[in-house]
Structure 1
Amino acid sequence: MTNYSPEQPTLSSRKQSMDGPSSSRPRKESKSSSMEKAFEAWTEFSIARTKKLEGEERLDTSSKTSDPYSIEACIEVLSSLDGVDDAHYMKACRKFTDATWRTMFIRVPLERKLGWVMNL
């Protein structure tokens, strides 16, 4: 017979104190709950990023259309012209880096634009 004193906890009483509600350790969160929280955070981040990018895109398109002499506007007109070969297309694009050339290109009448480009 083993003699236990009341001061020595038994194995079963130690286990109860570790697992029971009086334990000082916080309970671990389940893995599925952690994953759910991670997915929720990722979803919120993705939605916020998408909204931000959509807002920036709207700003970009509004600034492009507001300047009729922008590089984007010139390239759009240049691309709409039939009969421009690659070499002349690239020459015109290089000229569009200068605001004076862009203004000149846009101001040239439509029927003369192809001739203007082909003489660069």
Structure 2
Amino acid sequence: MSTADARAVPGRWPHSRAARGAVYAALVVLGALTGAAGTLVQGGWFPLGLLLALAAAVGLFRGGGILCRTKGGTVAPAAGWVAAVLLMMPARPEGDILFSAGISSYVYLLGGMLAAVMLTTLALSSPPVPGHNNR
């Protein structure tokens, strides 16, 4: 086994801490963008906008977990999503609001948070480790 293989943690991608931190930061930004876009779409195109916004959030959360093979890969975009959605909730001084008092806003908020929790608790299978054969 080479020294590069010894340093690499099997089952996690990327292997270096700096690269993994960059991936997590990119996932947080993508989560924030998805949350902001979903906030605008879910109320404007009801009911298809709501389904599209929730599908985008679920896809990003699951995709981050699969990409990194860690629960942090799911938590990073979920944290960005929650931060963006919570920052867009309060009414502005001009009286503008982004969330209406309808059912679609509540379904979007609770559905997105429930999806984040459910996908974070999913067990991720680790990829096969090269060089280990079960004979």
Q: Which has the larger radius of gyration?
A: 1
Same fold (TM over 0.5): no
TM-score range, shorter chain: under 0.3
TM-score (norm 2): 0.24
